[in-house]
Amino acid sequence: MCGIVGYIGKNPALPILFSGLERLEYRGYDSFGFCVLDDDKVDYFCKEKGKISDQCHIKDSHSIGNVGIAHTRWATTGMVTKENAHPHSNQDKDIFVVHNGIIENYKELKEKLISEGYAFASETDTEVLAHLIDKYFKGNLEDAVVEAIKEVRGTYGLAAVSTKDPNKIVAARMSSPLLIGVNGDEFIIASDPSAIITRTRQIIHLDDNEIAVLTDEDFTISKIEKETRCLNVTNKEIEMIEWDIEQAEKGGYEHFMLKEIMEEPNVIEDAIRGRINIEQANAKLGGLDSIQERLRGINNIVLVGCGTAYYACKVAEYMFEEYAGISARSDIGSEYRYRKTIMSKDTAGLFVSQSGETADTLAALREMKEKGILTIGVTNVVGSNQARETDAGVYTRSGPEIAVASTKAFIGQLTTLALMTVYLGRQRDMSHVMGERIINEISNLPELAEEILALKDDIKVIAEKYSHYRDFWFIGRKYNSAIALEGALKLKEVSYIHAEGTAGGELKHGPLALIDENCPTVAICPSDSVYEKMLSNIEEVKARKGKIIAIATKGNEEIRKIADDVIYIPKTLEMLTPILSVIPLHLFSYYVASALGRDIDKPKNLAKSVTVE
């Protein structure tokens, strides 16, 4: 996601902030900004769109201030503009804030602040923080920050400076990483160790609800408990990071792919943050507000995506038809763009893409627009072509995905599409009880996803056991038929092993001819409405001496008698099982590829974003 760096010490802050941001470049960003103070004056301030490397002159500016904060932004709330870049400030431009995370109640807070006379200069949620700090400022920055964050719901890692209370940085954390680098009498605050480790390896992690005050001599960390700021936390230990730069960028994991798989529970949390309305048993999707009424008249949805994003469309097809009461079908971007389709005016096109720049998906979108069809986007990248060209849409908020193979973005897409199912369903026949049930189950998913990730070492053992096979089959039915396709795609993509996925029922229509002891089958068979059917398919494979790796629901002991290996996933609603069943498949592919020593983050012949036909 976004990156934060702050410096206070005896040296000029700007070059240190600049190189800190440079080391956060790998995370991806679309704009950046700096604010350096020299005592009670702003010594340097700039915000730009684009890359820091294009603005190298910044570090040569004659800035001497020794306190500063800087930020790389990866847009979530508000487009990619200079105004939306951080730091954000109050109207008097004497309080400056950089922030990572999402302020869920920013719209209510913004309205209230506007009614109190505050004027806003950006579309971001972060700017609310700057004005709230201003509102509560009575001479002491940390007190104002404490008061401001009491009003905020959501997640934040933030750093603030002020010319009215100079020579300090105040930082606070709630569910968004923040750490302090300690280097003698200079301190660096950062969201990521890679921004720090060329200057110091001694770090202290801030925990949730903690607030740190850094000066050029010392720092203190306090806990905000029950709305009161207690005295210093005394038990914070300095840790030594042993990682090299490359490991630090990957959060200590060997590859971005593994780091991103491990982020999947957070991705679900971010996708649903502020989007659940329990009282109305509904999803709040602000991005669809402008077409809310038009959507009521929609009876068909055509979903379009490519590769993994297409498989998200396939899962949504089942969700929409079963729960939203809308007829749905999916198409691949490269197919849709060249075929003749019959589409009535009560049809909407729904485009799913991580990058929002996939050429075939965009071509299909333009083709549909040409025909006057309502277009909706599900995209990860704010301001991407897809986001700009669709009539409305919902961002998946999965954060930058660096590994070529899409993992966490797929989870973000499925979660967003599940929320959309509730939204569309509640506009139609879905009962309050059913809406509530789905919403509650979606809210439980982050915890359930964590449970699966805790099995990663067991999955690694299974992956290594099977890594010498040259062919694999993946089967699943109904909601998980598309997960069979995704499992096979992920395995071939990162391990270069031949793998194919089919709906379980299709086995006997051809693929069985290839099943023998040399071709293991991964069977996705949660305890759902098609479980018995999956058991029959597994029997068919076993009868041909094929090995079975089953992805089954926790508590199913029966499956152990027939499968060679079992990976358990927790129970959830049938329509949500894909969000859980795909996690072990991501790990399985990763560990097979790792056992084979593949270039996992950059598989041969593939690009992250396919912007050409």
Residues recognised as catalytic: 2, 608
Instruction: Report the C-alpha dihedral over residues 140, 145, 148, 154, rounded to 10 degrees.
Output: 180
161: burial class by Cβ within 10 Å (0-12, 13-18, 19+)?
Answer: buried
CA dihedral 512, 514, 519, 523 (to 10 degrees): -20
Which tokens in the block code for residue 494?
A: 């990162």
Binding site for ligand F6R (CB under 6 A): 306-309, 353-355, 358, 361, 405-406, 489, 493, 609-610
Q: Can you spell out the DSSP letters for 221-263?
A: EEEEETTEEEEE---PPPEE----HHHHHTTT-SSHHHHHHHT
Nearer to ligand F6R, 86 or 586 (CB): 586
E-state strands within 119-168: 156-162
**Residue entry with tokens 């607030």:** 211
Q: At its nearest, how many Å lie between ligand F6R and the CB of residue 609?
A: 6
Query: By C-beta, is 70 or 309 nearer to ligand F6R?
Result: 309
**Rounded CA gap, 186 and 169, in Å?**
12
Smallest distance from ligand F6R to CB 24, Å: 22
In the complex with ligand F6R, which residue's Cβ is closer, 1 or 485? 485
Other CB atoms within 10 A of residue 117 CB: 8
Q: Tell me the C-alpha to C-alpha distance, in Å, between residue 560 and each of 57, 213, 387, 473, 514.
A: 63, 55, 46, 19, 24
Smallest separation (angstroms) from ligand F6R to the CB of 360: 8
Angle between the 307-319 and 408-427 helix axes, to the nearest 10 degrees?
A: 30
* Residue 41 Cβ vs ligand F6R, minimum distance, rounded to whole Å: 45
| Minimal distance, residue 551 CB to ligand F6R, in Å | 18
Nearest CB to ligand F6R, comparing residues 47 and 490:
490
Q: Which residue lies nearer to ligand F6R by CB, 95 or 352? A: 352
Work out how close the CB of 601 gets to ligand F6R at its nearest, in angstroms, rounded to a whole number.
12
Among residues 29 and 351, whose Cβ is nearest to ligand F6R?
Answer: 351
Taking the alpha carbons at both ends of the chain, their separation in whole angstroms is 29
| Closest-CA residue to 411 (of 285, 217, 587, 271) | 271
Token digits of residue 373: 């069809």
